[in-house]
A = this chain, B = another copy of it.
Amino acid sequence: MTTTRRPTRQQSAVIDALGSTQDFTSAQDLHAQLRESGEKVGLATVYRTLSTLADSGDVDVLRTGEGEAVYRKCSTGHHHHLLCRVCGRTVEVEGPTVERWTDAVAAEHGFTDVAHTLEIVGTCSSCH
């Protein structure tokens, strides 16, 4: 919401494209989709917009096994992802258990200002 950035047609197009899918999508794929749907948006702008959105926490970003950055528009708030390795379907999950555990184990070793990343990958019931 609070954007220091000036809203433009291109940025809206990127955000809409992101919102049109439940899957994590790469900047390259988003750019291809935009071109295909007739939207004229430069690749650099796609990268810039996604990077800004990720920094502000408005989209989640994670790295594919090959190191490619993929983005997804998620619900607000801290959560994690359950990802199907076959079809790419994503489920957001959360809970205090893992949050408490990471905080406890970090404190136990004298670490402060802790953050964590957690991703779960499996095969969903439809793809089993």
Contacts and interface: CB of A to CB of B under 8 A. Distances in A.
A122 B112 contact: yes
Contacts of A119: 116-117
Contact of A122 (B67, B97, B106): B106
A98 B104 CA distance: 12
Interface residues of A, number: 34
A114 B106 contact: no
Given A63-B67, A116-B118, A111 B123 contact: yes
13 contacts: A63-B67, A82-B106, A82-B109, A85-B113, A95-B101, A98-B98, A102-B118, A102-B120, A110-B124, A111-B122, A112-B123, A116-B120, A118-B118
